[in-house]
Amino acid sequence: MGKIVREGTRLRLRVAEESDLDYILASEAAPENARYIIADSRSYHLDTLDSPSSVHLIVERKDDGAPVGFIVATGLNSPHHEQYWRRVIINEPDKGYGKEAMNLLLAWAFEDAGAHRGWLDCKEYNDRALHVYEAVGLKREGVMRETILVNGTYENLVMLGILDREWRALQKEGHE
């Protein structure tokens, strides 16, 4: 099992290993997720598992170790201390896992990994994800209009970000 990087009330984040690739690929291919992402190849995931600039984190329940999602964070060696959260997938919706996983990611990014800024993009119609991202403190920074072509239709991506000082202020206020 990979190194545990953060633990919360019900979940923990651990570094993914090659044995997690089938789970990651199945998560990307699941119909409930596939409409919101552009899936990556096995070779992409394999190449970036051991990269100094990125990390795959498995989101798993603490009580039984069962995976409930995964996150891919890139930009870990950025001279600008900026992380791009390239992929966030939670496979068990409506249990609060998305919010807890994002809070664990933010704590890890800003407290442990030394990030100054973190950001992600999200399809404009992914209301559930947008709600979670904004609930944990990310702010909409803009829209990349018609930036990806999916099944013959151009789609918009919403850009959301958060600075370390914004996250710290939320922690002082007792924000979850």
CATH of the domain at 122: 3.40.630.30
Residues 2 and 14: their CA atoms lie apart, in Å, by 6
Q: Which residue ranges in the chain fall short of pLDDT 50?
A: none
Neighbours of 41 (CB within 10 A): 10
Q: Given this model, what pLDDT does residue 176 score?
A: 65
Q: Are strands 117-123 and 82-90 parallel, antiparallel or unpaired?
A: parallel
Would you state the pLDDT for residue 76?
Answer: 97
Q: Is 68 helix (H, G, I), strand (E, B) or coil?
A: strand
Strand residues in the chain grouped as ranges (E): 4-7, 11-15, 54-61, 67-74, 82-90, 117-123, 139-150, 153-163
pLDDT of residue 2: 83
Q: Tokens 């920074």 appear where?
A: 141
Please count the structural domains in the chain. 1
* Residue 73 pLDDT: 97
Q: What is the pLDDT of residue 131?
A: 97
Residue 140 belongs to what domain range?
4-172
Supply the pLDDT for residue 122.
97
Identify the sign of the CA torsion 40, 161, 136, 165: positive
Strands 153-163 and 117-123: antiparallel
What are φ and ψ of residue 109, in 5° steps? -60, -45
> Against a cut of 0.75, is the pTM above it?
yes
121-145 per-position pLDDT tens digit: 999 999 999 999 999 999 999 999 9
pLDDT at 145: 98
Contact between 137 and 167 (Cβ < 8 Å): yes
Q: Are 91 and 68 within 8 A, CB to CB? A: yes
